[in-house]
Structure 1
Amino acid sequence: MSYKTALLGAAAISIAMPAFAQTEQTEESRLGPVIVEGSRLDQTATEIGSSVSIISEEDLEKLDLDFAIDAIATAPGVTINQNGSFGGSASVRIRGASSGQTLVLIDGVPVGDPSATDGSFNFAFLDTASIERIEVLKGPQSTLWGSDAIGGVVSITTKEPEPGFGGNAFAGYGSFNTLRGGASVEGANETGDFRLSASGISTDGISKADEDNGNTEDDGYESTTLSAKGGLNLPSNARLEATVLYTDAESEYDSYSGGAQGNVADGDEVTQNETLAGNLSLQLPLFDDRLENLFLVGYSDITRENFTNGAQSYFAEGDRSIFRYQGTFEINDMNTVSFGAEREETTANGEDADTDSLFALYELKPVQSLTLTAGIRNDDDSRFGSETTARLAAAWNPTDQVTVRSSWGQGFKAPSIFQSTYICTFCGLTEPNANLKPETSEAFDIGIEWRSADGRAEAGITYFGQDTENLIDFSFTAGYDNIAKVESKGVELFGAYVLTDWLSVSGNYTVIDAEDGNGNELSRLPEQSGNVTLAFDPDGPFSGAVLVRYNGDEANTNGTTLDGWTRVDLTGRYALNESVELYGRVENLFDEDYQQILGYGTPGLSGSVGIRLRY
């Protein structure tokens, strides 16, 4: 039996069984403190020493964004690059690190594409309909999560079932003949809980290659996302849980065209993508819940197939299996230790790579206001040997209104399967580069946050610096080789203020100075970027938000400069009653003409309307 079949079967059992129970679970039994799940120590926002941005379910609803990539773009220190809207390849970079150095987790399972050149995750198809929260942990997190976490971690949590029995459905129509809809059903009681959902989008889209360059052919996009999550509450506070997230997407895109802007122009190209991620976990507390044991089996699989003029031009498949144990022991109120082991088995196009890992974390609270964290991890890669990383962090709360946090950490990224097996035949090579080494990094950050006593205002500033060495890039002498390094530093600022009971404003601003080893500015990375959100929710049926996004000038890969841009979006909701809501969105209100990547177009003034039902 394959890992995929076993995982889906276990998920079905875990999700289906609670539906037959009759006793309702109370709201109080589900409530608890908000924690940063990516910390692996269940630390709260005032205990974690790392800089982290949390995009909540409320934020996602307020901004009414269809795709996760657009929500992640609102976090300070984050840069997104997308080759055209509606299914164009989309990547996330944190503090100047490359997209392959961003580890992406869905419900704790790594989902980077093992068959991709750098092993990165393509965010183009990730719909927000099933997402409850997104955490962006910045700086090296390899001690927590292993390889790929040089720049940071994007940890995505799918929606949890609500108490009782119910669900929702939504449908909308917008510009470019865009149809989007979905539905869910969920329930929770003392025996367990479940949630099933489906969503889809179909659009004629716009030309991936910029229409201003004479590209008139629209490139369509359609996708379907299925999500399932459920759990059984076992005796002695134990719990069995399973999650599955599946996406099937098809996106038209344009062709390589030498001499055109960005070397892209109209063409008959189509990519099909299937992504599956899921896990089965058992939580088993012992010793009066002082020792929490987590056993997890996770699986992810990504299949990509390209067609040119109807004929297959490319096929790739990569899958990853994760076997994880983590124990967390609360020695006393001052001391907590966490320890564990992981095994990762990765396959891409017939090539295999395995990693065995051991890690340990220690949390010390010498006084109530101070949390110190230390960690060490060893990853033993079947191809490149052993790598050890360490991490230190501190969070100090001298008053209820102030948090000072700082962290130092090491990161590493093992070469991808593609990089380690590639043979550059046109370079005259007959074998892959046997001397390829993992990329490594060392970084720190320090910041301070302030909150007003009445909870109406908050602000913060973080300074960071990171050095990355042995970066892997293409070389005509070796195929792929460790030929680059990057030094980056910068400042992240954020603030928020509740102006009235119904009006609030929040924003962030980031300055990143990132250069390669020769002192050249990194391409596709704005030095300055920021966001401002104005949210209004008066005592009545209407609510809405204004989002202003700014992206400064950035260098292109060909040495030219891509102009900065500012875009304004509006969202609004009108509740007809407790169960029915109308919603709408206006994107690019002032019809800004801009590009995210040279040669690729973006939508002008556009919008959508829809209806949402809760039952």
Structure 2
Amino acid sequence: MARLFLLSTLALTTTSLAAFQPVLAKENDHHHDAGKINHKNDKKLSGKQNSEKAQDKTQNINASDPDADALAIASSNQPSLVVTASRTPEKADQVSSQVTVLDKAAIDHSQGMAISDILVRTPGVTVARNGGYGTATSVFIRGAESGQTMMVIDGVRMTDASSTNNGYDFGTLMTGDTSRIEVLRGSQSILWGSQAIGGVVNIVTAMPTKPLGGSVDLEMGSHSTINARAAIGGKTDRITWRLAGNNFYTKGISTISPRYGGHEQDGYHNRSATGRVNIKLIDEVSVDLRGYYSKAMTDLDSSYGTPDTSDYENKEQWMGYAGLNVALFDNRLRNRFGYSYTQTKRNDISPSFEPYNTDTFLGNGHTRRFEYQGSLALVKNWDLVFGYENERSGMKSSSPAYGGSDTRGRIDINSVYGQIKGKIIKGFSVDGGVRYDHHSKFGGNVLFSGGGVWAFNNDNTVFRAHYGEGFNAPSLYQIYSEYGNQNLKPEKSHGWDAGFQQRFFDKHLTIGADYFQRTSTNLIAYLSCPYSGELPAICYVPNTNTPRYGYYDNINRSTAHGVEVNASLDIKRVSLNGNYTWTSVKDRSDGVDYGYQLPRRPKNTANGSADYHWKFGLVTGIAVRWASKSWDTVHSEYSMNPHMNRGYTLYDLRLEMPVSKHLTVFGRVENLTDKYYETAYRYGTLGRTFYGGIRARL
């Protein structure tokens, strides 16, 4: 309550200051005019010079919006602008970390129905999904754990306090009204918090650019799949707003592969909505309201015994954000006061337990966050981003059908951070930052970061390098659940990356390459218990005599290093794109697991696409995705021979045709050769599928 009072007081104070600024500005102008009368014999610049000087001064001393979802970016179609790196808008050529930006045109062209379908084709990213659409989906960036990928929707961090690793489950995140996707690779913990060791995925939903407009997408395909989306919004001088809804349904495939006894279709139904409102009270003060809601039902198979069951899961997620933006001192200092709340509820149901309790699992995780972020223009070309955050997360889980008590947990984290960024010379920028987190269970921790980027040759040549540290506390589930371990230690990491980008022939050809390296200590992994024989003490639920299938423990040390290569070529009507990633992420702790690649992370991945633009508007293309083999689980004393997921190559065909200025028809064939593959042992994947639909932009 005290923090809320302090936040409100600060907001009221800065709002009042902003309200008095016009009066102060007029007073200053009056004295300035008087000064000019007293010094009318002084030498004056020409009107043109004065105008240019004033324009240059304004341009250089204005602070950036302190928001990873600045309104100007949400309404922009410029892929050269990114916001994730410094949580303020800036050009990609000025970011010291490696970043991939996909605008609305690229998202539409990919025809991906789920965000994970799009992410898997970007450099350094791999995806593992436990079945078809709607099932648990993990995203790994540069081989880091899935719980070390920070997920952001419209500037709000999406965490699930009741999940196994505090990470976001991408399985229920449909593309919906997404207008930009930004993938920032490498440790970003200074500005984004402890979870962002692997990187950040920033999803920005669309905002209108005209008084009233909307869009409608309708798509149908294999397995009785229907994907429908609609959005409407408008913009006036003071208010910008947009509402969107998405309805996805599919009969699906068997969650457990037919090769392991799964035969029935496991369906999935997702209904989601997003909403955003920006209200400009005065020129210097505005209010932001943002929301996201998703309700999904997923049919499940059993991981043990007979796969086909009538089990299913209900999952509900929602996010709410309210923010106050205040600009002071002629926009030299911009302030953002925000409050966000995220919650995830899940309920696993087994009808076969009737007439007894059918709830095999109940989970409820929530996170509320108070935050202040400031952006200060120090001097010309030098900016400071700083802030304070207070985060409280809680979880409650139980298995009523099996008896037992509830599992509960709560943590608090208080953080302060700052990052300075500036230009040394034209084209050469540097940045450095520091963050302090105080965790209610694990105490305090200090992190540092630094980087530089050099763009020259008319920005056609770019070199960049970045160093970052990370600190990730165990999740509530890893500590307190039936598989938990209260002796866990926080994960820590440090790493660096360096790379270049070169553009040729008036930017028609672009090539780039990056090298990265990361060392992690106390990495947390799930280890299996033996199936027979005498069980060690760690293989019993804490404080009971109940055996368990496995437990969480720290791997003493792991290392990751790799190379990312990408290229694109546009020649008249032909567009070619490709990327390749080599990732070596290995356990370096003493024991039987020393030197093994960590699970579900292929060492080699590659993506490519070729599109042809016909004279009459038709665009046809082919896409290919390749991944090498990967282990499914970690090697341990009780799991000496884990399963190896084989490598695979997938081909997709796609086309789109504009019927009019506002209407486009499209279609695609995924997994053209009907290749069988697994990203997770025993779990099914989609074979050859067909989809088609329309896009209307009004």
Q: Which residue number corresponds to residue 385 of structure 1?
A: 443
Q: Which protein has the larger Cα radius of gyration, Structure 1 or Structure 2?
A: 2
Q: Which residue number corresponds to residue 516 of structure 1?
A: 587
Spell out the pairing of 1:462-481 with structure 2 (5 A cutoff): 462-474=514-526, 477=537, 480-481=552-553
1:398 paired with 2:398, answer: no
The CA deviation at 1:534 is: 1.7
Q: Which residue number corresponds to residue 479 of structure 2?
A: 420
The CA deviation at 1:474 is: 4.9
Q: Which residue number corresponds to residue 537 of structure 1?
A: 613
Letter in 2 for 1:463: Y
Q: Structure 1 residues 418, 214: closer, same or farther in 2, change over 3 A?
A: closer
Q: Which residue number corresponds to residue 256 of structure 1?
A: 303
**What is the DSSP-based 3-state SS (H/G/I as helix, E as strand, rest coil) of the residue aligned with 2:207?**
coil
Letter in 1 for 2:568: A
Q: Which residue number corresponds to residue 494 of structure 1?
A: 566
Q: Which residue number corresponds to residue 68 of structure 1?
A: 115
Residues 83, 600 of structure 1: 8 Å contact kept: yes
Structure number with the bigger relative contact order (C-alpha 8 A, sep ≥ 6) is 1
Q: In the aligned structure 2, how far is the partner of 1:30 from the partner of 1:562?
A: 42
1:297 paired with 2:339, answer: yes
Point out 4+ residue stretches in structure 1 off by more than 6 angstroms.
Answer: 27-30
The CA deviation at 1:376 is: 0.1
The CA deviation at 1:453 is: 4.7
The CA deviation at 1:434 is: 5.0
Residues 572, 585 of structure 1: 8 Å contact kept: yes
Q: Structure 1 residues 28, 471: closer, same or farther in 2, change over 3 A?
A: closer
Residues 62, 545 of structure 1: 8 Å contact kept: no
The CA deviation at 1:544 is: 3.9
The CA deviation at 1:316 is: 0.2
Q: Which has the higher strand share?
A: 1
Aligned counterpart in structure 1 of residue 131 of structure 2, from 84, 97, 113 = 84
1:459 paired with 2:535, answer: no
Q: Which residue number corresponds to residue 591 of structure 1?
A: 674
Q: Please give the TM-score of this superposition, normalised by the length of structure 1.
A: 0.90
Q: In the aligned structure 1, how far is the partner of 2:179 from the partner of 2:499?
A: 27
1:446 paired with 2:498, answer: yes
Residues 161, 230 of structure 1: 8 Å contact kept: no
Q: Which residue number corresponds to residue 574 of structure 2?
A: 503
**What is the DSSP-based 3-state SS (H/G/I as helix, E as strand, rest coil) of the residue aligned with 2:117?**
helix
Which deviates the most, 599-608 or 506-515? 599-608
1:215 paired with 2:262, answer: yes
1:607 paired with 2:667, answer: no
Q: Structure 1 residues 332, 538: closer, same or farther in 2, change over 3 A?
A: farther
The CA deviation at 1:32 is: 8.8
Q: Which residue number corresponds to residue 154 of structure 1?
A: 201
Q: In the aligned structure 2, how far is the partner of 1:402 from the partner of 1:415?
A: 41
The CA deviation at 1:314 is: 0.3
Q: Which residue number corresponds to residue 317 of structure 2?
A: 275
Q: In the aligned structure 1, how far is the partner of 2:614 from the partner of 2:287?
A: 42
Aligned counterpart in structure 2 of residue 374 of structure 1, from 432, 456, 463 = 432
**What is the DSSP-based 3-state SS (H/G/I as helix, E as strand, rest coil) of the residue aligned with 2:253?**
coil
The CA deviation at 1:423 is: 5.8
Residues 76, 510 of structure 1: 8 Å contact kept: yes
Residues 473, 484 of structure 1: 8 Å contact kept: no
The CA deviation at 1:441 is: 0.2
Residues 74, 179 of structure 2: 8 Å contact kept: no
Residues 74, 207 of structure 2: 8 Å contact kept: no
Q: In the aligned structure 1, how far is the partner of 2:88 from the partner of 2:168?
A: 25
Q: Which residue number corresponds to residue 10 of structure 1?
A: none
Q: Please give the TM-score of this superposition, normalised by the length of structure 2.
A: 0.80
Q: In the aligned structure 2, how far is the partner of 1:32 from the partner of 1:309?
A: 48
Which deviates the most, 133-142 or 234-243? 234-243
The CA deviation at 1:44 is: 1.4
Q: Structure 1 residues 607, 463: closer, same or farther in 2, change over 3 A?
A: same
The CA deviation at 1:602 is: 1.4
Letter in 1 for 2:642: G
Which deviates the most, 167-176 or 388-397? 167-176
Spell out the pairing of 1:181-200 with structure 2 (5 A cutoff): 181-200=228-247
The CA deviation at 1:265 is: 2.6
The CA deviation at 1:30 is: 6.3
The CA deviation at 1:361 is: 0.5
The CA deviation at 1:433 is: 5.0
Q: In the aligned structure 2, how far is the partner of 1:32 from the partner of 1:314?
A: 43
The CA deviation at 1:613 is: 2.7
1:67-126 deviations in Å (ceiling 9; x for gaps): 001111111111100001121210101111111111111122221210012111110111
**What is the DSSP-based 3-state SS (H/G/I as helix, E as strand, rest coil) of the residue aligned with 1:100?**
helix
Spell out the pairing of 1:91-130 with structure 2 (5 A cutoff): 91-130=138-177
Q: Structure 1 residues 286, 487: closer, same or farther in 2, change over 3 A?
A: same
Residues 593, 602 of structure 1: 8 Å contact kept: yes
The CA deviation at 1:444 is: 0.4
Aligned counterpart in structure 2 of residue 317 of structure 1, from 345, 349, 364 = 364
The CA deviation at 1:37 is: 1.2
Letter in 1 for 2:82: V
Q: Structure 1 residues 75, 280: closer, same or farther in 2, change over 3 A?
A: same
The CA deviation at 1:366 is: 1.2
Letter in 2 for 1:199: N
Q: In the aligned structure 2, how far is the partner of 1:30 from the partner of 1:278?
A: 20
The CA deviation at 1:604 is: 1.5
Residues 75, 207 of structure 2: 8 Å contact kept: no
Aligned length: 578
Residues 217, 230 of structure 2: 8 Å contact kept: yes
The CA deviation at 1:29 is: 13
Q: In the aligned structure 2, how far is the partner of 1:243 from the partner of 1:373?
A: 30
Letter in 1 for 2:678: Q
Q: Structure 1 residues 366, 354: closer, same or farther in 2, change over 3 A?
A: same
Which deviates the most, 434-443 or 294-303? 434-443
Runs (5+) with no aligned partner, structure 1: 4-26, 259-263, 425-431
Structure 1 vs Structure 2: percent identity of aligned residues? 31
Q: In the aligned structure 1, how far is the partner of 2:344 from the partner of 2:194?
A: 19
Q: Which residue number corresponds to residue 288 of structure 1?
A: 330
Q: Structure 1 residues 435, 523: closer, same or farther in 2, change over 3 A?
A: closer
Residues 52, 138 of structure 1: 8 Å contact kept: yes
RMSD of aligned alpha carbons: 2.2
